Each structure stands twice: as C-alpha cells, then as structure tokens.
Structure 1
Amino acid sequence: MTAYLEQFFAGLHGIWDTTFGIFGLEDALDILIMAYLIYHGVKLVRETRAAQLVKGIGIMFLFYFISRLLKLKMLSFLMDNVLQAGLFAMVVVFQPELRRALEQVGRSRISKLPMFSSGLSEQEQLNGWTRFIEALLEEAPSLSRQRIGALIVIEMETKLGEIIKTGTIVDADPSPELIGNIFFPNSPLHDGAMIIRDGRIHAAGCFLPLSDNSEISRELGTRHRAALGMSEVSDALVVVVSEETGYLTICRNGHLERGISMEKLRSVLSSALLSEKDGPEKIFDRRKGRKG
C-alpha cells in the first residue's frame, strides 16, 4: 500500500513538473495582460448597443467550435468564411467603441506626465477653473430666468480641436457679462456652443455632433441632442440652458440629467474641475439619464 501511494504521488509530481516546469514569468505576465484586456473589453461594451453584437459573435464562435468538433464539413466551411469576413467587419461595426477605448488609454495616468501636460501649473489650473465656475454660477440664474438658450462645453482630457475649428476663437477670461453677451439672442455666436479650455472661454459659435440615440425624449431640442452627442464622443462635461423652459441640464459620458438646481450644478462642476476628474460619473444614473 505504501509503495502504491509513493508511486501515485511520484506520478502527480511528474505531472506537476511537466505542466508547470516550463511555466515562466513571461507566461504569467501574458495571462495577466490578456485577462486585463478581456475584462476592460467586456466592461467597455457592457452598457452599449455593441453588447448584443458581442453576444452574437460569441454564439457564432460556439457554432464554429461545435462544427469543428463534430467534423461538420459544410458548417465548418461556412463558419470559416463568415468569421474571416467578420474580423474586418468588426472594425467598422465597433468603430465608436474602439475610438472610446483609445481615448480612455489617452486619459490614463500616462497622459498626465509632464510631457503631455498643458504647460499650466496645478495652481494656475485650479485658479482658472474656480473663476469659470463662479462666473457661470453667477450668470446661469439670469439665463435660466430669461430663458436664454446656452450650450457650454467644458473640455476635459479629450481635446476638442476639430470642434473649435467650426467656431470663433475668443480666448478670454470668463465673466458673467461675457457669457451673457455671447448667448444673448440674435448675437453672432448665440446659436453655437461655447468651448471652455483650462478655465478660459476658448471659443464660441461652435457646431457639435448630434446624438443619434433613439431613446432621447422628443421634448428635447437641438441643443440637448448636440450636448448629448458631444458627451458621447468625448469626456467633455456639457451644460445646457433650455430656451423653451429655462431648465438647466448637464451631460457627460452619454448621460443626461435635466432640471438640476444651482447647488447641484456647483457640486458637479466642483467635483469635475476642482477635485477628482471622474467624480461626476457616479452622478449620472443610467436608468434616469436618458428619459429626459
């Protein structure tokens, strides 16, 4: 019996050596990187329309392995060709998600190294954002009360150079009077968006991409669709004043919240610009954000 057990454990030891003897540090690193990529890939598409496409692709791969396992020649031939073409089609189908993933890489900690910074010191940035927040909070009640439409895009990590080119460069310190004058009815820059960069009014009269989300409430006009569209393709924080109701709205990461108070606006702006960059993300409830 003892000899049998010794032989059994010797066999297990041999299997262990055979299996893990060639397992090195680079193999462990490879597995960790793949696990990280898969996890963040799933996280990226989980809350998007692409989630259903991922499920469909998973089912196709399941059929492919079954056909190979059972040696179903016609089905294997069909799945081979479909999957080969599908790899190229995925680049087109998942273009928004791929772009968002690359932008998230650009917004990682690596992008905050000195070589990628804006050139302003942390204190200068803080002072600039503080001046902007105070100017907007002073003017916003007047815009809301008079029902003057306004669309303000606050640039975060994703640069909005292409959007800025569609408008007029202002590059001025923010003030309640300037914000009010830009959005005053029938002024040259009234209908476009104001772009805020590093706490300064960088541009105005800019055109934004409209959201094609079919779940948007029909009550929302062009400004709100533009604000939502801008927040879908960038990490910008967008503030809207409705011309019809005077309601304040904030948009970020494809989520929209209407009818916010001045206190809520201050809280969101302070959290986004004066503390953690990702603070406001938790404020937007997916179940409420798109109902309008």
Structure 2
Amino acid sequence: MEATFITRLIGTLKTFAFKDFIDVVIIALLIFYLLRLFRNSRAGQLVKGFLILLVVYGVSYLLQLTMLTYILNSIFTYWAIIFIVVFQPELRLGLERLGRSNRRLRSFMSFTVQNPEDKIYKALSDVADTCAIFSKSKTGALIVFERDTPLGEIAETGTLLNSDVSPALLGNIFFNKAPLHDGASIIREGKILAAGCILPLSDSLNISQELGTRHRAAIGITELSDAVVVVVSEETGSISVALNGILTRDYKRDDLYNRLVELIIVGDNDKNTGLVAALFNKRKEKKNEKE
C-alpha cells in the first residue's frame, strides 16, 4: 500500500506543470486571506463550528449512522448557500477591502494647484484642539474620519452638513443639549459630511465593561470599514482612537494630532495597527507608573 502511494505521488509530480504551481499558490493565498479575515471576528467561531460538523459527518459515515449521515449530508448539499448567508458580513467586508482604491494613486489623480492636503491638515488640527477642550470639560464626542471605504449609508442616518471643520462648529454639535450630540460626526476630505449619525455597535466579547456605547460604536464601525474614529469619554474625558476594531486610549492633543496625520495623510499601513496599539499602551503604562 505504501509503495502504491509513493508511485502515485511520483506520477503526480511528473505531471506537475508551472500552471499547477500558480493554481496552488492562488488557492493558498485565498485560504490565507479568508483565515486572516475571519481570525479577528465572530466568524472564526462559526468556522470552528463548521469544522466540527465535518468531523461529526465523517464519524457518522464511518459508523454508518444512517439518520445522522442523511441529515448532515442534506446540510452539506446546500453548503454554498449556507456559507453565503452565515458569513455575509465578513464576505462583504472582504470584498470592500479588495475594492478599495490605492490612496497614493487617488491623491495623485486629485492633485490641484492648491494642495488638498492643506485643508485636511487644518481639519485634523481643529479636531485635535476640540478634543483637548472636550477632554477638560468632559464633553462626549464621536468623530469618524472616512478613508477608502465610503460611509454614505451611515451619513444618511444623520443630518447632512458638508461644512468646514472648526472647533466652534464641533462644539455646537457635541454640546450636551444639542439634538445631534449623541450621534457621530463623519469627516470626509477635511469637511464635516454629516452629524448625528448612527453607527453599528460592536458585539465583540473582548471589549472592556467600562467602555460605553460611544466606544462600542467606534469599534463597531472600524470592524466594518477602514475608518479612523476619535472618541472622547463623557465620564472620564479620556481621548481614544479606534482603527480596525482596536481601541487605543489616553491620547493628549499632540499625540492625537500626530496619530491622525500618520493614519489619514501619510497613510500608515493598517497591518501595523496592533503593534502601534501595543507600543502606545505600553508607553502610557510606563508614564503612569512614573507619575
């Protein structure tokens, strides 16, 4: 039997062509991409459940458990439809990521005599100044910076403004008796696109219990898009930044401004988000220990 297996393996290798190598590489990359997409989401648990069903199906087939085999076989007959329905949010997110345009190419194509980044720099500076003021007065705020993923559907849940960013306008929006203060403000290309917007809440079980609705909303929208979200806590005045479902906390004015420039203008690679978060939190811990 072992000799037969080796003979078949050698025969397969002899017929293995370059196109077969490309085929294997593409499939491997697709599997890697799907695993990476599902790893930090609840879909990871669903994949584990699906694999357990496969194991149960194999065992029931070997033991000739007729009824169980029939039921599982019926389920797997429609596995493609089940897969699309169950993993719809993750598949949509993956397709959105694939469809995102290159930021540098987009900046080059939209270049004009007056550098559009000047307006964005000013918007980031005004947001950092406003958040510093909010932090002292403990005024809650939720500010979303749109990047490659369009947030038009989210903007439609609020009030469209299309206004220049200024501390005075943000102060009016997030004043605790203002009608729009409970929602999020979305900033697109240096302008406030809309205010009072409703964001999807994250249902992750790894979020600290001390974080409220604003922080869950910030994490939720960054799990579904590449947006950068700034949150000011109404209880503590702490300034946080959410990106890719990861929240970094306790920013000061200059730290916040530099991080926003890094993410929105420079175009920091999102793959380093976890490392940046870890380093930032570690630096904050050391600073707090010294104090």
Please report the TM-score for the alignment, with normalisation by the length of structure 1: 0.79
Please tell me whether the aligned partners of residues 228 and 243 of structure 2 are also in contact (alpha carbons under 8 angstroms).
yes
* Superposed CA offset, 1:96-153 (max 9, x none): 21122112112264x8756xx7963287342222111111122222111111211100
Q: Given residue 19 of structure 2, which amino acid in structure 1 is its aligned partner?
A: E
Moved more, 276-285 or 218-227: 276-285
The corresponding residue for 1:40 is 33
Are 1:121 and 2:79 counterparts? Answer: no
Q: Which residue of 1 aligns with 2:77?
A: 84
* Distance change (3 Å), C-alpha of 1:194 and 1:133: same
Moved more, 79-88 or 163-172: 79-88
Count of matched residue pairs: 270
Q: State the shift of 1:192 in Å.
A: 2.0
Letter paired with 1:80 = N
Task: Give identity over the alignment, percent.
Answer: 42
Aligned AA for 1:265? L
Partner amino acid for 1:107?
Answer: R
Q: Could you say which residue in structure 2 is the equivalent of 1:147?
A: 138
Report how far residue 194 of structure 1 moved.
0.9
Give deviations 1:8-52, integer Å, cap 9, x for gaps.
Answer: xxxx99996x53554333322211110110111111112322223
Distance in 1 between residues matched to 2:108 and 2:178, nearest whole Å: 31
Q: Which position in structure 2 is the counterpart of 1:5?
A: none
Report if aligned partners of 2:42, 2:204 keep a CA contact under 8 Å in 1: no
Matched, 1:223 2:214: yes
Matched, 1:199 2:190: yes
Q: Structure 1 residues 257, 138: closer, same or farther in 2, change over 3 A?
A: same
The residue type equivalent to 1:281 in the other structure is T
Q: CA deviation at 1:238?
A: 0.7
CA RMSD, Structure 1 to Structure 2 (Å): 3.0
Return structure 1 stretches of 4+ with deviation > 6 angstroms.
Answer: 12-15
> Equivalent residue of 2:254, what SS?
helix
SS at match of 1:172: strand
What secondary structure, in the 3-state scheme, does the structure 2 residue paired with 1:169 have?
strand
What are the equivalent positions in structure 2 for 1:15-26 lying under 5 Å apart? 18-20=11-13, 22-26=15-19
- Number of the residue aligned with 1:6: none
In structure 2, runs of 5+ residues without a counterpart are 1-5, 282-291
SS in 2 for 1:124: coil
Greater CA deviation, 267-276 or 43-52?
43-52
Structure 1: runs of 5 or more not aligned: 1-11
2:150 is the counterpart of 1:159: yes
Q: Which residue of 1 aligns with 2:251?
A: 260
Aligned equivalent of 2:48, options 34, 55, 60: 55
In structure 1, what is the equivalent of residue 242 of structure 2?
A: 251
Quote the residue 2:173 is aligned against. Answer: 182
CA distance in 1: counterparts of 2:262 and 2:104, whole angstroms? 18
Determine the structure 1 residue equivalent to 2:286: none
Letter in 2 for 1:72: Q
**1:168, 1:15 → 2: CA distance?**
65
